[in-house]
Amino acid sequence: MSAYRVLIAEFKHESNTFIKEATSFKDYKKRHLIYGDEIIPFFSGTKTEIGGFIDAAQKEGISLIPSIAADATPGGRVDREVFDHVRDTIVRAIKENEPIDGILLTLHGAMVLEDSPDGEGELLESIRQLTGYDLPIMITLDLHANITEKMRFNVNGMFPYDHYPHVDMYERGVEAATNLFQMLRGELKPLIKIKKLPVLNPCMESGKPPHKLFLDMALRWEENPQVISVSIVSGFPYADIPEATMTVIAQTNNQAELALQISEEIGQAIIERRTDFVKSTVPLEQGIKDAMEAPEGPVIIADISDNTGAGMPGDGTHVLRKMMEMNVKDAALALITDNETVEKAIEAGIGAAIKVSLGGKVIPEDLGSPIEATGIVRTITDGKFINKGPMGNGIKNDIGPTAVIDFDGIEVIVSSSRIQPYDPEVFRRMGIEPLDKKIIVVKSIAHYRAAYTPLAKKIIEVDAPGPCPQNLKLLKLENIRRPVFPLDEI
Ligand SMILES: [Zn+2]
């Protein structure tokens, strides 16, 4: 039995720099901010990266030293105080548990701090300064990571998700851990090559062209025994930093030429097909009309402009207002985050008619003003549910006290805190069976597709106004490295 001791930690955030309010301790506590012995029981059996670390370590008899796990819903830049706290907790755990043989971190890759554009780079650099360059460090990342040279320089392996929706969190966790263990045994000498591409990607799915073509190329290269992994990283353009572009990562077993060849080949192919990375959507009124006229339901309407997954407040009202105007029936919407309205619903109780001023409180100038209407309170719950779909299966969610308010045939889930409703359990927890509805609205760009595609008769992505546009020319990017497509011709 090996006596290897590997420290693990999670520190994630996808920062949308167009949101003014910083992401604070409060936001981390809402998702999770847990320490030491709390971590293994929390993630055991979940289809997450740490779930993967745990299973891989157990299989190989390696002991894990859990230090901290911190994750918050995407939002504004991360508060310096939070960053310093998490970094210091990891650094302290490394010192207190010496000797350790390696480190596994699960990060996002698009963390922007109040005073620094590269949160992960700064974190990894601090860890390296303490451990030196001989200690193996491997990380998992989101597909929407903004890869920097500082990140690459300070790790021995990077394993971003291959898929969007992110259905392979667990697999990437297992992969990072397995490769780290091989490195510890001297069986692997990883070499990383990154190629930054002058192309912005408006969060397009991985299972469809154009992304699928390049993912398939990457997977074919992975069949080569000298190749550790090849990743097509979309980047996150809503973080206005120089490196928010697409990246190809090629990792080989100490084969520099091969890594260069792979990253150049796929990188060039993406640049040639760059015009395919421009997304088209359906105008709002047309989309709702199409859904109403569809012969059978459920038809999924994706409100991609108020996607909390990209840091939006989740209280936008454009889609709901238009549905009310068009007199839509037999519909349900997930969800509008509005604490005040939830409190009002709880006070009134189930069955009561209440007059509300719903949503539109955070950035009404962009996402629509509050909806003044009377609805009937149908359901009230504690907002706790467990994901049952393919993405993040087993994750425990807590969106706080939550109510369903029925506006003449449109049942709206109103929550106390934000979530991207990519798992249909959010409806079922509230007593709504999505299959029974003609129209289901979700505030999500693409993650919803993993679980809703099998349920849906049709999916319509509507284009409502908002600060998170799919047309990236509308985004006021000031810091991105130029030239970059589609802002410039390249
Ligand atoms: Zn992502």
Token pair recorded at residue 146 = 């903004």
**pLDDT of 422 higher than 90:** yes
Alpha carbon of 304 to ligand 1 centroid (Å): 14
The whole-number average pLDDT for the span 181-191 is 97
User: In this predicted model, what pLDDT tens digit does every residue of 374-402 receive, in sequence order?
Assistant: 999 999 999 999 999 999 999 999 999 99
For residue 163, give the H/E element and its range.
none
User: In this predicted model, what pLDDT tens digit does every residue of 124-179 receive, in sequence order?
Assistant: 999 999 999 999 999 999 999 999 999 999 999 999 999 999 999 999 999 999 99
Cβ-based neighbours of 191, under 8 Å, separated by 6 or more:
251, 252, 253, 254, 255, 256, 259
Alpha carbon of 234 to ligand 1 centroid (Å): 9
pLDDT of residue 2: 52
Alpha carbon of 439 to ligand 1 centroid (Å): 26
Alpha carbon of 237 to ligand 1 centroid (Å): 12
Alpha carbon of 110 to ligand 1 centroid (Å): 9
pLDDT of residue 34: 98
Whether omega for the bond prior to residue 190 falls within 30 degrees of 0, making it cis, is no
Q: Locate the domains of the chain by residue range.
A: 5-276, 282-469
pLDDT of residue 194: 98
Residue 311's pLDDT band (cuts 50, 70, 90): confident
Alpha carbon of 270 to ligand 1 centroid (Å): 19
Alpha carbon of 365 to ligand 1 centroid (Å): 26
Alpha carbon of 294 to ligand 1 centroid (Å): 31
* Cα distance from N-terminal residue to C-terminal residue, the chain: 55
Nearest Cα to 175, choosing from 187, 153, 157, 149? 157
The whole-number average pLDDT for the span 92-102 is 97
Residue 49 near residue 169 (C-beta atoms within 8 A): yes
Alpha carbon of 310 to ligand 1 centroid (Å): 8
Q: Domain 5-276 has what CATH class? A: alpha beta
Alpha carbon of 158 to ligand 1 centroid (Å): 15
Residue 229's pLDDT band (cuts 50, 70, 90): very high
pLDDT of residue 1: 46
Alpha carbon of 142 to ligand 1 centroid (Å): 5
Alpha carbon of 145 to ligand 1 centroid (Å): 7
Cβ-based neighbours of 45, under 8 Å, separated by 6 or more:
51, 394
The whole-number average pLDDT for the span 474-488 is 93
**DSSP string covering 343-399, please?**
HHHHHH-TT-EEEEEES--S-HHHH-PPEEEEEEEEEEE--EEE--SSSSTT-EEE-
Residue 472's pLDDT band (cuts 50, 70, 90): confident
What is the reported pTM?
A: 0.86
